[in-house]
Each structure stands twice: as C-alpha cells, then as structure tokens.
Amino acid sequence: KQEVTQIPAALSVPEGENLVLNCSFTDSAIYNLQWFRQDPGKGLTSLLLIQSSQREQTSGRLNASLDKSSGRSTLYIAASQPGDSATYLCAVILNDMRFGAGTRLTVKP
C-alpha cells in the first residue's frame, strides 16, 4: 500500500527566503505526482503536476522535482512571500490518488 510522507509538518521562515518542501512515497510505480496548496477553510488548488517520465516542472517561483527511483519529490519556493503561507500537500497517482498529510508553511513579513 502506497504511503506518502511529508516532512516537515510545519515550517516558518522569514520573507525572502528560498525553501524546500519534501515529499516521499514508498511505491515508485506511480503515474504522476501533484503538488497542491490549501488555504485555511478552503479546498485544494493544484500547483504543479509532474508526469512519471519527467524530472521537474516549473511555474513562476515554484519548482517541483521528482525522483521516482528514490521515491522522493521536492517543492522549491524561491523568494518566499507572506502570501505563500498555506499548507502544501503532495499526492501520488497510480490507480488512485494518495495524499501526504501536508506541510504548513508560514512566511513572516
């Protein structure tokens, strides 16, 4: 059974810092991996999707990488801003979608 782990559970950084969020999964036989953002009381917003044949995807200040062989993905956020404060979840997809518990990010002005 696929297990998805996100470390750390919470992270607080000053504005302007570059940061990395980690996602690990136990079964490397995945179709793709997706990173989401969740604001308090809201649903999930898709950030980046990495197909299993890809190594990384970029959108603005966000860069997500995927290493299937090691069962790891990272989400890199450059020049963090207070508006980036949210919970970030990764999900791996094979025949269904399995989520990590998320990393709660706080960016302090």
Partner 1 sequence: EAQVTQNPRYLITVTGKKLTVTCSQNMNHEYMSWYRQDPGLGLRQIYYSMNVEVTDKGDVPEGYKVSRKEKRNFPLILESPSPNQTSLYFCASSLSGTGVSLPLHFGNGTRLTVT
Please report the DSSP string for the chain in residue order.
Answer: ---EEEE-SEEEEETT--EEEEEEES----SEEEEEEE-TTS-EEEEEEEETT-SEEEETTEEEEEETTTTEEEEEE-S--GGG-EEEEEEEESSSEEE---EEEEEE-
Is residue 106 a contact residue for partner 1 (CB under 8 A)?
no
Binding-site string for partner 1 from residue 15 to residue 54, where x marks contact by CB under 8 A and - marks none: ----------------xx-x------xxxxxx--x-----
Q: Which CB sits closer to partner 1, 79 or 101?
A: 101
- When binding is defined by CB under 8 A, the residue of 60, 83, 96, 109 that contacts partner 1 is 96
Work out how close the CB of 17 gets to partner 1 at its nearest, in angstroms, rounded to a whole number.
25
